[in-house]
A and B are shown apart, each in its own frame.
Chain A
Amino acid sequence: MPHQSAVTVLATVPPARVDDVREVLNEAGRRGAGEVFRFAEVAGVHFARLLLVPGGPDGTGEMQPPCVVYMSEVDVPVAVHLADLVRSAGDELDKVFAYCDGYPADGASEGERVAWLRSHHVPCAAFYVHTVGRGRQQILNEARLREAIEEFLDRHRAELSGESPARVRAAVQEYVTGRQDLAWARSRPALPALRWRIRRAAHLVGVPLAGLALLPLLVIALPVWAVLVRRHERRDVPSRARPGRDHVRELASREDFGAQNPFTAVGAVKPGRFRRITLTAILFVVDYGVRHFFHRGNLAGVKTIHFARWLFIDGKRRVIFASNYDGSLESYMDDFIDKVAWGLNAVFSNGLGYPRTRWLVRGGAKDELAFKHYLRSHQLPNQVWYSAYDTLTTDNVRTNARVRAGLFGTLSPAGTEAWLALL
């Protein structure tokens, strides 16, 4: 099973064409993201979105251009995905990117389109994957497996409920073994490719080693940095602005249709080199954290996020944060405040207008309504959004994987009971 990639294609839109692009995206959203771009047929797409990022001021007030962004979470390398996408929905991509500078005109080959998209690819500063290595096909298969087992148990509940746990499990095993379409369930899911695992291990060790080499420098720099942070924090002016009502209504009109929602926000980095360097360093640490520690169903205490990414745009003048999460925005924001306020503060307090923090991680998001207003104000409508499994929460996906993992093989009596309790 491959590891997951974050695809981001970002292209500037001439200001005069912003309304045209928005209309194309809105129309695609109305027709349905899956219908228009046929994401189900593109290999390994978990989620995908297309949206317009409006132009806006950076931290110094200088206007940054509007752009159109395509983001997806996929099981294949970026280049492979873009080629697949052009093959499956090239005409629709043409409509979206037609107004962007240099986009291959009519008559250009698929290869030219792919090359253009690749040249507009933006790497993430950090990319969180709920469970690294768990691909879309595995998620869909395991959901089907669980449902098949549940239905089997419903049909045979009367005769099975008097049996021992081990006998019930044996009956399920026999049933699944008899189903050719579930033959895959008898083996374990494959690990990500060896080369990728070696690279990851090298990163795991390499970064602290490099840190060790820089230690003398860090020891000197950290106290200076801490003093500077406090000075900046005292001087920075939190925004008291509440999100506009029309803005909130547009956002709300696209939320709460399924078990999950997309979240995209853009913000300006505070002016000056200090904040830009701090944010770069923090996101480097975040990247390390999500690669090596938070890759098994938990982002520092928040379990409801499928994917999340942080990326710089406009030459590090602005930042985009995008995620796919379970439940409503209200519950998402409450999770942020209650469980991971420190982490959000460390990143977002480098953004203009964020509620006041202390020592980078304290305060900030703990100012509940100021924080919620800030997020809503910076949130962007996702004109097009696709989910490959929009009724499944991260909790469901995880349970399904455990059902499959415990189906065959040896289990203790207690393990067998625990396995049956998943159903």
Chain B
Amino acid sequence: MLIDGYLREDGRIGVRNHVLVLPVSYEMNQIAEKIVAGAQGAVTFRNQHGINQAGDDLDQTLRVYEGFATHPNVYGVVILAWGHEPFDLARLVSRARAAGKQAELVSLTQVGGISHAVARGTELANEWLVTRDSVQRVQVPLANILLGTECGGSDACSGISGNPALGVVSDLLVTEGGTSILSETTELIGAEHLLAARAATPEIGEQVIHIVHRLEENAMKMGVDIRGAQPSPGNMDGGITTIEEKSLGCIYKGGTTPIQEVIEYAERPSKHGLVIMDTPGHDIEQITGMVAGGAQVVIFTTGRGTPTGSPIAPCIKVATNSATYLNMEDNLDFNSGPIVDGLQTVEENGNALFETMIAVLNGELTKSELLGHREFGIYRIGKSL
């Protein structure tokens, strides 16, 4: 199957053609917003991090920046820095350029202060907003698409309607040679044995068990009851009682194909097919990780109607029940409620969701894009130093 996408110089395929203003530390958030205010059509996000990090934590943050700066949905990137961040900003620019992006560093300390940074960033963004239109969509195989799957604000219907329908989409995409990411390690607790049994090799199966047990042990070491966070109070109101129950409903998102790989947070898959990314259950951190890993599109099932989107990837929001869909239609793109209502089979609803995804890949805007939902959050490993 073919879709209309943007063929990038590095061979990857974009489904959006964004000019991104990327604030590499929180000091730059307001400056980034001023630039975007003066460059209508450019996108940015609020960053909470970027400094006072070290070791693996810093590496992970850099991996997210690189994933965004080189992302196939991005045409050009203004890398906006204070100038005292603990990383090699020139290398970030060169990686973005190597991926074929228009990319420039605007460093507050180098350009001579805030007003100069706003002026320079706005000038670059506006220039690229014009030149980006020279890039036209071309027909490319669907096999180039990396889908991020997500469930957030889950209810008991998530495991009955939304997630199984998304599982149908995952299977259809994998059949076409594409890649689907199953993540949210917290929400695999109690279901990891089922996934391990589906791993392409015994080693991959062991990795699945490993990441789940590692996360569970961390919760145990903290001496906390995981309940209250997983499942959340909203999940419980929706009928979910235990983390095991939530997990068993969650894993439907990944469909039925073998697991080809287990990857780290914000890492790019090296295999096609179904892959597992080790992420937290926190929706925004999780979507950020999958998008940094190269996901061009996210499908997000929700029983409670979460508003979340992503700065650079369209996020298709799927209601798991008709009441939530009707109540929050301005925010939701698709309804899996007809499965619960007995009006559609999982297969029928999943096929319709697949068609919705194809339309979005071809350029149709999602509700979260129309509403300007551009949430961003990096999963932190350590504490701020």
| Pairing of A with B | no
**Chain B interface (Cβ within 8 Å of chain A)?**
none
